[in-house]
Structure 1
Amino acid sequence: MTKHISHLSRRQALGALGGGAVALTGVAANAQSTAVEPLSTITTPRREFGPDADPNVYFWDPDLVAAEDGFWGVMQPNASIERLWTGARWAEGPAWNSVGKYLIWSDIPENRQMRWLDEDGHVSEFRKPSNNSNGNSFDYQGRQLSAEHLTRRVVRYELDGSVTILADMFEGKRFNSPNDIVAHPDGSYWFTDPPYGGQLYEGAPDAAGGPSNAAGLLNPRLGQPPEIGDWNREMETATYRVDGSGTVTRVATEADAADPNGLCFSPDQSVLYIASTGKGPGDTGPGGNGEIIAMDVAADGTLSNRRVFSDCVVDGVKCGPDGLRTDVAGNVWASSNAGRNVGYSGVTIWTPEGTLLGRIRLPEVCGNICFGGPKRNRLFMAASQSIYSVFTGTQGAGPA
């Protein structure tokens, strides 16, 4: 069972809330025995996170929930969870630009990418239309990568402002709706291809008769550019690699990781982690089980030793994974969609062996995450309509 654990005296701070003193659990033996759990996202009324909210007076933040003592080694005791911005319809794909010191993310239904500036917290529209982009990241040369639902492709934004299509087809068939993309130091790009963009809200359904529009009742051309509306889903869900020459290889099949979603490498790139989520539009296969799948990566880019890294069940609650990142110690950070299980959506953190370290509770379902900030020690969380952050005690591995 997850629990609050504290050992240092600075974590024993008391806070006045609602006219009464409230203490963290696990305080020293000489503290008052009447200590209670501080208010959190699961209280009524819920805690406020925004810039106008009352200050958080606790060490630790009450919504950092430990399962193991090692959790406190990757978190920062006097750092609070903050809501930086709200106003999206469905926020996804956060990525940090280290040179520009800004965060970008996708607002998929609004067909736009947004940007948050570190210098003053200013938020503005960064790119519209974005082709209903989902996952974003930056490669080792600082170029932005995006997975586009609407155009069923992955692209790279070059430093001169032009756009390169990295991949839009495999063996003569168009992708379903690329979801997330990460760079490898060898110059290759790895991306997942589930069917989630094959819907009106986040892209375009298939043409009449296609798997996500079998009855032909939907018109995929409405509100779209003239080239959109003729495609049908043609392939199973899978994970792909694009090498430096542009050759596309299917590295993980639907049997390996059904409905693949977020993905990331271990710090030394020896392991690939894939979030295998549930069925999407037009899925006829078994669908994923809300698990994180791990596979070993060979020098030639092939995968082996497929295993379930975590079933993402915490206290009997399925904390469905989506976006994934690792830190420099190899811990796996996964966004959590716990549905209506309030208090379990947010982020789960796992050791390289798959043991739960702890959780970050958010009042919204979390779709994706990334590390950023000038020191890459700040976790950014794209959660439904909002962007949250918290400073950590570690650093993210690789570019954001």
Structure 2
Amino acid sequence: MYKLIFADDEKLVLNKICQMMDWESSGFSLLGCCSNGYELMDMVEKEPPDLVILDINMPFITGLEAARQIRHSYPRIRLVFLTGYTEFEYAKQAVELNALKYIVKPVTAQELRGVLLEVRAALDEENGHIRKMAALEYFYQQNRKVLVRDLLSDSARSGTIYDRARAYGLDWNAGTFFQAAVFSVDRMNSGAAWAAGDGKTMLYALGNVTAELAQEAGLGLACTRGDTVVLIGYSADENGFSLRMQEFVESVLHIVAGQLQFTAAAGLGNVCRGCAQIASSCSEAAQAMELRTREGGNQLFTMQDLHVSAGGHAAVWDAVNYIESNYADPNLSTDAVCEHLHLSPSYLRALFKRQVGSTVIAYITKARMERARTLLEDGKLKNSQIAEKVGYASPHYFSYCFRHYFGMSPNEMREKRAAL
């Protein structure tokens, strides 16, 4: 049964039509009748119908304006104009709004029933097409998931997998680069919205989010595998591919934590060329993900992180030395340190916090501020020159950071030193 709203400013016409019509025999359920544009829009917003029959000349919001708003916000609602106007301009505007019919009053019950049956036939055809496309899309997505699972098995060594991939619009060949990521739900840190027994639902949600985002980004395919979600990323160009994968996985973890309200961990394997080594990349990703047992959820770990995890202390001091040597670089950041050390940002943040007791950014600020104080005490340079030497392009921002760190401005510190 389709839903209908009827709108006409002539209340006698409105009441007569609403009472005389057997809506259900035409396949419609009447949600309500109204006599002005405001009431119509309010009814549409409360419960969007399948069809709106409306008069062109209504108070407050005209039928044409209401139709424009409906067409913009609810493009699938069908429109039929019922009006006493026969002018060509009104009919032209109705056509522009993609109205199904433009009926001139007075209208008989038989004529209106004919219109309803015509609209119902159009809706039946449209919904049948939508159901068919949904079924095809489901079949398509399920087969893409099978393709991912086959990539992780011995069948990935067969050249036929490239032919199968092309059948799904994936231009893969022996020169394509692949990288696997593995996600798992951190059940120990799930939000209040999730109960202890919701593990499977959480995994399903994680898999759906990962698959949808990967498809939107054109970056990879994903499916659930056991109690994990596996993402196979692919690219024709190796340059920047691994960084894009890291950024994508980080974004998935962020979205899961923010919107689904539970945390997850992820591991990233090495990049490989051709599909034969995808299973190895997936195994590496799973190993890297196991670092979460020590570092906590909602983080990404890479194979490089896995290699340095045993010598994490050395990695941290490599980071400290790099910061101490490069604090004057305005572009120095956590990402820059990670890129230099070939570590993922998540892993370095966790390791740095545990061993140094501060964040990487806080340590960069400390290195800059301590050097700035030394230069200021020396008294040979202006504030703007000091700012430049410690990595601040803006003297104003330098002064702001200085005050925040020391509790006084650079000039106040100069005056304090001069008074000693």
Which one has a bigger Cα radius of gyration? 2
Higher relative contact order (CA 8 A, sep 6+): 1
Both proteins in one fold, TM over 0.5: no
Q: More helix by proportion, 1 or 2?
A: 2
- If the TM-score is normalised by the length of the shorter chain, which range does it land in? under 0.3
Question: What TM-score, normalized to structure 2?
Answer: 0.23
